[in-house]
Amino acid sequence: MFKNESEVSIKNAETIIGPSIKVKGNFFGEGDIIVEGILEGEIKTSKNLLIGPKAIVHANIEANQAKISGEVHGNIHIKGYLELSSNAKINGDIQAAKISIEPGAVFNGLCTMGKKGEAETEK
């Protein structure tokens, strides 16, 4: 889904929540997920997640990689690379191996980077 850690392809998406859709529920999957609408619940995928610029998400998130351009209220756990675009608004804690935050993005929460447990073992 991510080419050069920033480009996203709609072609491989397993689930797409369109801009006119409002959904309450939990999403658990093995494929790529794209959210362009409003989602309340939980998102877990072993693949990749794209949250579009007009999306509003009230959920805890788990994914392999993610690009967030919209609004997220909840904790975010990304195994690999997380990209926050310039219009992203995050209210919650982030845990990711790598993170990129463009100027203009808003992030309120704690951020833990690297593989889980890596910081504790380096002491």
Overall domain count for the chain: 1
Report whether pLDDT(116) > 70.
no
Q: Convert 56-101 into a string of H (helix), E (strand) and C (coil).
A: EEEEEEEECEEEECCEEECCEEEEEEEEECCCCEEECCEEEEEEEE
Domain span holding position 61: 2-121
Report whether pLDDT(3) > 90.
no
Average the pLDDT over 84-103 and give the result.
97
Confidence of residue 123 (pLDDT cuts 50, 70, 90): very low
Average the pLDDT over 87-107 and give the result.
97
pTM: 0.85
